[in-house]
Amino acid sequence: MTAWPHLRGIAYGGDYNPEQWPPETWLEDARLMQEAGVTVVSVGIFSWALLEPEPGRFELDWLAGVMDLLHEHGIAVDLATGTASPPPWLSHQHPELLPVRADGARLWPGGRQAWCPSSPVFRERATSLATTMAERFANHPALVMWHVSNELGGHNAHCYCDVSAASFRGWLQRRYGDLGALNDAWGTAFWSQHYSAWEEILPPRIAPTFPNPTQQLDFARFSSDELLDHFRAERDVLHRLSPGVPVTTNFMVMKHVRDMDYFAWGPEQDLVSNDHYLDASDPRGHVELAFSADLTRGVAGGQPWFLMEHSPSAVNWQPRNLAKAPGQLRRNSLQHVAHGADAVCFFQWRASRAGAEKYHSGLVPHAGTDTKVWREVVELGRTLEAIGEVAGSMSRADVAMLVDWSARWAAELDSHPTVDLAYLDQPHALYGALWDAGIAVDMVHADADLSGYRLVLTPTLYLTTDATAASIASYVEHGGHVLVTYWSGIVDENDHVRLGGYPGAFRELLGVRTEEFFPLRPSERVHLDDGSTADQWTELLRLEGAQAVASYVDGPLVGVPAITRHAFGEGTAWYVATRLDADATSRLMSRLATEAGVAPVVKTVPGVEVTRRHGAAASYLFVLNHTDGVVHVPAEGVDLVTGAGVRGKITLEAGDIAVIREGGG
């Protein structure tokens, strides 16, 4: 990551869709943006049909007018290439670029993002629009960054059409070289699946029963690469025609999105940007927000990142779209900044009056500016202005959590020992326990350099390469502490089981050997001799050098160890072979933290989140009170939000936040 747009302080704004409004509204918009302290808006994301109403005929003057107006009001523009959603004429002329599902059904236009990632026609038309946009606007004074497409892969990550099939075969040829290597990797000796010619290979379309798992895994890898390739094609146009202006595409690092390998995408961005939406049904949504923000920071290589979208209040696409409570808009926003965001942007500026998203909140609500949302929008603008000096500061943590998208895809394939194995379950459980304890975490790729960390968490790393296993073992050998959870180290990069007992990649490191998995029935719960309970998963495990920390007292495996600890080299390797309840997970994490010498950022009460960002001249303490009561948190310095000095402690009302420039005196 090399570039940050020319924007002062913490950038503030959102998606702006002026084409949904008459020009008289544009002037009001610009004035209101000024009133709110907005510094940047994303324009043109869904404008293709109006920018190019007929093939090759462009109408860009209206957009130029909008950009001029914004510039006159001091608002910068993150300009979209406009390619997110093709216009009706394109699929009308080229129905072959509409995406095809695994069951062979072709999807229709009428929503958005109805395009096949492998379509050469789409690629040609999209890069042509990107070229026209760059030629017209590269030197516009409002332009500070480019926004390629929108949430690539949000609705069209996988296409199973014949064009995609041919592209998949090309990808496989590059990966395997010859068919023999592919047959080995896919284990095609099984069920008479041996391929004799490349033309026989298809995407994993719906078959009478389970398709080949490695074929599915490779198709997931291919699909992420294919969209990344599309991003690169548009980005390269912009780099050529608009040099020096940073390019990004907005990621979806969120619990329910799993199709893009963002560790591969991150380094291709000039700056990483992300969209995050709270799951309104999750009472611990703020912990999921922190997880997602930290993972985005990891994907950004630790650099500041750009929050491109979140919602001012309700969204429109969940079963029940809960409005945000008073104060939540600001608290959610500041929480992203606390975890490394240097921009706070929203979907969208003005709530639509028509279309599928008309009940999605906007910074300017349907009810206008005499509203809770608008008052909070103005207040947030003031807060972000006041804390502007934190921009550019960075976080560091003593704990690393390893994340890997191939492991996620492979872990969640079909025909596994139980349907209950969900990749994110244990990462969230461990992260949640650390969040409760106030301990900061870096989310890093499984192959990251671990040498600077006191504690490394390896949850559900089902697919583990030899290189990853060696890196973790060497980290422990040199004095590191590692925790591995069940359903890790089971298969290699081809989804082939590592033989000799589970978890093959980590047996020696952990000093254990599992003979057989014993998944549990849906409502079954087992007890451990340290008082913990567990569900979903147990293993017939034998100690081969490790000590038992806790064993089952009931269930199918009475007396068998469930938690183990192994001295390995100068370090320690822990294994958790079952799904512990939340209290037991917290107890385990606090024991591990103590042993590894990891401390909370600041010792405080449950529900109060404290993070620290380090700048060149000062460090900044973010304090977020997620509780319903008044809290007191030890701190020293100046609260940038209120300007007040903080001596010894800060007192925060329920739901309030503070950002303290640290230092005595």
CA dihedral 454, 399, 428, 217 (to 10 degrees): -80
Minimum distance, C-beta of residue 422 to ligand GLA, in the bound complex (Å): 23
Q: Which of residues 358-377 bind ligand GLA (CB under 6 A)?
A: 360
Least separation in angstroms between residue 114's CB and ligand GLA is 15
What residues numbered 228-287 form the site for ligand GLA, per CB under 6 A? 275, 277
Using the minimum distance from each CB to ligand GLA, give the nearer residue, 85 or 224: 85
Site string for ligand GLA, 141-160 (x = CB under 6 A): ---------xx---------
Question: 293 or 446: whose CB is closer to ligand GLA?
Answer: 293
**204 versus 362: smaller Cβ distance to ligand GLA:** 362
How many beta carbons lie within 10 A of that of residue 628, not counting itself? 8
Do residues 630 and 304 touch, judged by C-beta distance below 8 A?
no
Question: What are the structure tokens assigned to 631, written together?
Answer: 């809290």
| Angle at CA of residue 72, ends 69 and 76, nearest 5° | 85
Q: Rank residues 276 and 661 by Cβ distance to ligand GLA and give the closer one.
A: 276
Picking from 340, 350, 378, the residue whose alpha carbon sits closest to that of residue 612 is 340
Round to whole Å and give the CA distance between 560 and 578: 11
Q: Does residue 43 belong to the site contacting ligand GLA (CB under 6 A)? A: no
| Catalytic residue from among 52, 234, 309, 609 | 309
Look up residue 486 and give its DSSP letter: S
What is the largest distance, in Å, between two alpha-carbon atoms of the chain? 77
Q: How far is the CB of 408 from ligand GLA (least distance, A)?
A: 21
Tally of CB atoms within 10 A around 136: 18
Cβ distance to ligand GLA smaller for residue 151 or 226: 151
Cis (ω within 30 of 0) for the bond into 426? no
CA distances from 463 to 31, 290, 330, 419 (A): 53, 25, 39, 17
Angle between helices 285-299 and 425-437 (to 10 degrees): 100
Query: Residue 551 is inside which H or E element, if any?
Result: strand 547-551
**Among residue numbers 291 through 350, which ones bind ligand GLA (CB under 6 A)?**
309, 315, 347
Q: CB-wise, 330 or 360, nearer to ligand GLA?
A: 360
Among this protein's residues, is 309 annotated catalytic?
yes
Cα separation, 248 vs 149, whole angstroms: 9
Looking at the Cβ atoms of 277 and 409, the one nearer to ligand GLA is: 277
**Cβ distance to ligand GLA smaller for residue 329 or 589:** 329
**Pairwise CA distance, residues 491 & 473, whole Å:** 17
Kindly determine how many residues on this chain lie close enough to bind ligand GLA according to the rule CB under 6 A. Answer: 9
Comparing CA positions, the residue from 81, 202, 193 lying closest to residue 146 is: 81
Closest distance to ligand GLA from the beta carbon of 206 (Å): 28
For residue 556, the SS3 value is helix
Q: Under the phi-then-psi rule, with left for phi > 0, alpha for psi from -120 to 50, and beta for the rest, what region is 244?
A: left
* Beta-sheet strands, E only, within 390-517: 399-403, 441-445, 455-458, 481-485, 512-517
56-63 CB contacts, 8 Å cutoff, 24+ apart: 58/132, 60/132, 60/133, 60/136, 60/137, 62/19, 63/137
Q: Confirm if 655 and 327 have CB atoms less than 8 A apart.
A: yes
In the annotation, is 151 catalytic? yes
Please state the closest distance from residue 65 (CB atom) to ligand GLA, in A.
23
Q: Work out how close the CB of 499 gets to ligand GLA at its nearest, in angstroms, rounded to a whole number.
A: 44
Shortest CB 328 distance to ligand GLA, Å: 16
Q: Which is nearer to ligand GLA, 151 or 218 (CB)?
A: 151
Residue listed under structure tokens 């502490």: 481
Across 313-360, the runs of DSSP E, i.e. the strands, are: 341-346
Contact 631, 609 (CB under 8 A): no
Q: Which tokens sit at 29? A: 């918009």
> What's the distance, Cα to Cα, between the start and end of the chain in Å?
37
List interacting residues with ligand GLA (CB under 6 A).
150-151, 275, 277, 309, 315, 347, 357, 360
Give catalytic residue positions.
151, 309
